[in-house]
Amino acid sequence: MRALQVRQLLPDHVGAALVDLPVPEPGPGEVRVRVRAAAVNFPDLLMTGGGYQLKPDLPFISGLELSGEVDALGDGVSGWAVGDAVIGGNRFGAMAEYCLVPAGSLRRKPERLSWEEAAAYGVAYLTAYVALVRCARVEAGEWVLVHGAAGGVGLATVDLAKSLGARVIAAASSAAKRDAIAELYGPDALIAADPGFREEVKARTGGKGADVIFDPVGGDIFDESTRCIAFGGRLLVIGFTSGRIPEVSVNMPLIKGFSVVGVRAGEYGRRFPDRGAEHIAAIDALAAEGRIRPHVHAALDLADWREGFAMLERREVVGKVVLKP
């Protein structure tokens, strides 16, 4: 089978290569999936150089989420049959023609979604759901400011927030990205991610500021966000794609009455498995009902994985990139 294997942890993904490997046999409790699509996520890029908190033993196969068909069952597996359409995956291993997955880590593919869409929505929409519903408890009519709104997680947050009845301000770095977001999901406002955005946010919200701010960027974006959050607001810390981890003087949350909330959707589910299962069931139901609509920017052959990785690194992606083994 073809697989994207990481053999050395090196910069610029030079330790990764497309190789031919034997098709693996499922062990007890495992399902072998014929992969139809595997999403590209930033952790996949970071893991090739050892820059992510999870560091699998070498060599390993990249890819943490997939869609495909059940191909074989290991001993003790029940509830699945060969040919079932599934989604899910491990924290690595999805970028191959076949992948072994614990039976409990698979879910039914929503029929409304294509293979590509099904591979692309799990991680992004799970993060969006935990952020907006579990952590922020967003209510219909509240103003939600989404930074990095063109990225996979940001775009999912725009979509989900609209589905929940929030009023959404989407911030993105280029006019082309803002045009794409407008066409896809029709947020209530679109703004440039430029210094001084706080004044536009205040103007759009009648002077009060955003009730919820979703921030995967950090750095200067976080600093300025503290200046345009509403009293009693929730500032959600998702990550630091800007490269700088910001700091906040605690008098700011005190005076403005806002909360700074860290969001780690996967870790939340590991610590509270029942709630984690509830979150996953919720996003799957939303997808099955057509209330969320994941967007695939590009679907590439596995052989073109370098271009897929480069698209993310160049920050040109609106939504998600998927690879097709």
The pTM assigned to this predicted structure is 0.92
Q: Which residues make beta-bridge pairs with 98?
A: 34
| CATH code of residue 69 | 3.90.180.10
Specify whether 31 is located in the same domain as 84: yes
Identify the weakest region by mean pLDDT among 62-66, 91-95, 184-188, 241-245: 241-245
Question: Residue 171: which CATH number?
Answer: 3.40.50.720
Same domain, 11 and 145: no
Specify if 248 maps to a domain: yes
Name, in order, each residue with C-beta under 8 angstroms of 106's C-beta and a sequence gap of 6 or more.
31, 33, 70, 80, 86, 87, 88
* Cα diameter, the chain: 61
Tokens 């440039």 map to which residue? 192
Classify strands 98-102 and 30-40 as parallel, antiparallel or unpaired. Answer: antiparallel
Q: Is 202 helix (H, G, I), strand (E, B) or coil?
A: helix
Alpha-carbon dihedral sign for residues 132, 135, 139, 142:
negative
Quick one: average pLDDT of 224-238? 96
Average pLDDT value for the chain:
95
Q: What is the dihedral of CA 225, 228, 230, 236, to 10 degrees?
A: -10
**Looking at the structure, do residues 317 and 199 belong to the same domain, yes or no?**
no
Tens digits of residue pLDDT in 167-216:
999 999 899 999 999 999 999 999 998 999 999 999 999 999 999 999 99
Q: How many other CB atoms sit within 10 Å of the CB of residue 310?
A: 14
Question: So what's the pLDDT on residue 242?
Answer: 84
> Do 95 and 128 sit in the same domain of this protein?
no
With respect to residue 153, please indicate whether it lies within any of the assigned structural domains: yes
Distance CA 273, CA 275 (A): 5
Name residue, tokens 């920050």.
315
For residue 307, give its domain range. Answer: 2-109+295-324
**What tokens appear for 283 in the block?**
């996003």
Shared domain for 205 and 150, answered yes or no, is yes
Q: Does residue 288 sit within a domain? A: no
DSSP 8-class letter at 133: I
The answer to whether position 218 is within a domain reads yes
User: 139 in a domain, yes or no?
Assistant: yes
Say what the pLDDT of residue 91 is.
84
Number of domains comprising the chain: 2
- Of the candidates 143, 172, 165, 136, the residue with the CA atom closest to the CA atom of residue 265: 136
pLDDT for position 127: 95
Judgement on whether residues 27 and 154 belong to the same structural domain of the protein:
no
Q: What are the tens digits of pLDDT across the range 112-171?
A: 999 999 999 999 999 999 999 999 999 999 999 999 999 999 999 999 999 999 999 999
Question: Stretch 229-250: mean pLDDT, rounded?
Answer: 92
> Nearest Cα to 58, choosing from 48, 68, 67, 66?
48
Are 56 and 131 within one domain? Answer: no
Judgement on whether residues 61 and 161 belong to the same structural domain of the protein? no
